[in-house]
Amino acid sequence: RGGYESASKHFNPADVEVDVGGRSFLVTGSNSGIGKATAKEIAKRGGTVHLVCRNKERAQVAQEEIVTETGNQNIFLHIVDISNPKEVWKFAEKFRNEHKLNVLINNAGCMVNNRELTEDGLEKNFATNTLGTYILTTALLPLLEKEADARVITVSSGGMLVQKLNISDLQSENGTFDGTMVYAQNKRQQVVLTEQWAKTHRNIHFSVMHPGWADTPAVRSSMPDFYEKMKNSLRTEAQGADTVVWLAVSAEATKLPSGLFFQDRQPVAVHLPLANTHSPPEDEEKLMEVLEAFSQKFRSSSPG
């Protein structure tokens, strides 16, 4: 929290004092934590918000809360499990036919501490954090391409700084499984995805960010020891969401180049000095090829 408080002294409040009425935002994982805080801030500014959540009951509660607190009726709910690639495809294809989209916020994520497989035989962290993010984004790019000032923001984590991209073991089949490190690897993959998309889709602004360590249900459940030790100094959910909101609504954000990694409204380095986490360009291209192959495999088996 201290980091946020000192950084925020330099924020320009006017950056986010904007009316985004008529613009459409899709936020994944938006029934709690940073996703819900982000959705609420966008709703306050008049945006149309599509909440994409896995748990219907919790999502309906969040939807009602956002409508009540903001007075914005344009809050729509879609129940999708981002770890299920067929479901993501089906949702995206339907969404493309029915809605417009200006800003996609990839916030849904998970940190599963034991190696678990989804019904499709995918390791669960990879299926949610990397493949789900890849499929949803690529499937919605045609919709974003139609709009002026289209943006894609992915919520990553500073944990990725300890990981070098490893394309040889995307499903964590080798060695001892460490959920925290698998999550950090997925978050590194999201940074690479963002950089690659920024190169190929020039009329969409891509960014990826670290929210700082915030007091969210996800941190409490997946990192209980860390939470107990740090709970008094964690950021609030709104502080964690601040840079996401800034990237989603401010005119300042898009003055900076596409493809950057942000913390506290500032672009920051994606590699620590001497950390040896740089990967060769061919590994980054290979990641895109592998994800595209996975993605198409699940697309062809989905109806439509």
**pLDDT tens for residues 261-304?**
999 999 999 999 989 999 999 999 999 999 999 999 999 654 54
Q: Is residue 303 part of a domain?
A: no
CA distance 116 to 93: 28
pLDDT score of 2: 87
Residue 161 DSSP one-character state: G
Q: Which residue range(s) make up the domain with 109?
A: 1-297
**pTM (whole model) above 0.85:** yes
Q: Is residue 171 part of a domain?
A: yes
Q: Is residue 209 part of a domain?
A: yes
CATH number at residue 144: 3.40.50.720
pLDDT score of 302: 46
pLDDT beneath 50, residues of the chain: 302, 304
Per cent of the chain over pLDDT 70 is 98
Q: Is residue 120 part of a domain?
A: yes
- Structural domains counted in the chain: 1
Q: Is residue 43 part of a domain?
A: yes
Q: Is residue 59 part of a domain?
A: yes
Q: Is residue 304 part of a domain?
A: no
CA distance 271 to 255: 23
Token readout for 123 is 């390791």
pLDDT score of 301: 54
For the beta carbon of residue 304, count every other beta carbon within 10 angstroms.
8
Q: Give the catalytic positions in this structure.
A: 183
pLDDT in tens, 194-207: 999 999 999 999 99
Phi (first) and psi of residue 50, to 5 degrees: -105, 115
Task: Return all residues near 88 (Cβ < 8 A) that are at least 6 apart.
Answer: 80, 82, 132, 135, 136, 139
Q: Is residue 302 part of a domain?
A: no
pLDDT score of 74: 98
